[in-house]
Structure 1
């Protein structure tokens, strides 16, 4: 269960994916044989709207389904 009242972190993911893709395009144009960037340079899971998870002992069964 997420530790926030945010419904989604889709906007956060879109922002860092866009930055990652841009950096990779630039890297491929300037240094095509270099190592790719790590996505951790652009993404911080603790800085997004849903930062972390929590465990609830008596959670309803409908919340446990995936």
Structure 2
């Protein structure tokens, strides 16, 4: 469960940051950048947990 509506803005910004870094990186001197350096899913706005009070919302926490 999350309070964020979408990851679209986060993904768009991270892909832009990755493209800029790859374009600025000199591939003749070094190896290519690792794609895992950008857009870590645990940094996204939809990541995280939400506390739900079982006494206030028994229909959600029925199991």
Per the normalisation by structure 2, the TM-score is 0.61
The 1-side partners of 2:22 and 2:27 are apart by 10
Gaps of 5+ in 1: 54-66
Unaligned runs of 5+ in 2: 50-63
Change (3 A) 1:33 1:8: same
User: Which of residues 33, 36, 41 in structure 2 aligns to 1:40?
Assistant: 36
**Structure of higher CA gyration radius:** 2
Superposition misfits of 4+ residues, deviation over 4 angstroms? none
Root mean square deviation of aligned Cα: 2.1
Who is 2:59 aligned against?
Answer: none
In terms of fraction of residues, the more helix-rich structure is 1
Paired residues, what number?
A: 49
